[in-house]
Amino acid sequence: MAMGVLGNSLVLVIKVLCRGKFCCHYWLPFINLTLSDLGSALLIISASILAILTGGQKSPWCEVVTLLKFAFITSSIGSIAVLCVQRLIGRTSTKGAIFVVMVTACLASWVTGVVFGSIPIVYAWIRYDPAEILCALFWTSSYSDMLVYILCALSICIFLPFLLIFGCSLLSATGCHFGNSSEEDLSEVTPLLVACYIICYTPFFVSELILLARMDLPPDFLRTLSSLMSYLNCGLNPLIYCSHQEFREAGLALLWTKRKPTSVPVLTAITKYKL
What pLDDT, on a 0 to 100 scale, did the predictor assign at position 88?
86
What pLDDT, on a 0 to 100 scale, did the predictor assign at position 35?
93
Instruction: Using the Cα atoms of residue 200, residue 206, residue 209 and residue 210 in order, give the sign of their dihedral.
Output: negative
What pLDDT, on a 0 to 100 scale, did the predictor assign at position 23?
80
CATH fold of the domain at 2-255: Rhopdopsin 7-helix transmembrane proteins (1.20.1070)
**Residues 200, 208: Cα–Cα separation, whole Å:** 14
**Residues 26, 29: Cα–Cα separation, whole Å:** 7
pTM over 0.85: no
Q: How many CB atoms lie within 10 A of CB 29?
A: 25
What value, to the nearest 5°, has the Cα angle with vertex 154 and ends 47 and 176? 110
**Residues 138, 125: Cα–Cα separation, whole Å:** 5
Listed in sequence order, the DSSP H helices in the chain are 2-17, 27-39, 46-54, 61-89, 96-122, 143-153, 160-173, 190-213, 220-241, 245-255
| Greatest CA separation for the chain | 107
What pLDDT, on a 0 to 100 scale, did the predictor assign at position 107?
94
**Residues 239, 241: Cα–Cα separation, whole Å:** 5
Show the low-confidence residues of the chain (pLDDT under 70). 139-143, 176-183, 214-216, 257-269, 275
Per-residue pLDDT reduced to its tens digit, 81-140: 999 998 888 888 888 888 899 999 999 999 999 999 898 888 887 888 888 888 877 766
**Residues 22, 251: Cα–Cα separation, whole Å:** 10
Domain segments of the chain: what residues?
A: 2-255
Q: Is residue 165 a contact partner of residue 194, using CB atoms and an 8 Å limit?
A: yes
What pLDDT, on a 0 to 100 scale, did the predictor assign at position 179?
57
What pLDDT, on a 0 to 100 scale, did the predictor assign at position 204?
86
What residue type is 48 in one-letter code? S
Instruction: Using the Cα atoms of residue 58, residue 60, residue 62 and residue 63 in order, give the sign of their dihedral.
Output: positive
Question: What length does the chain have?
Answer: 275
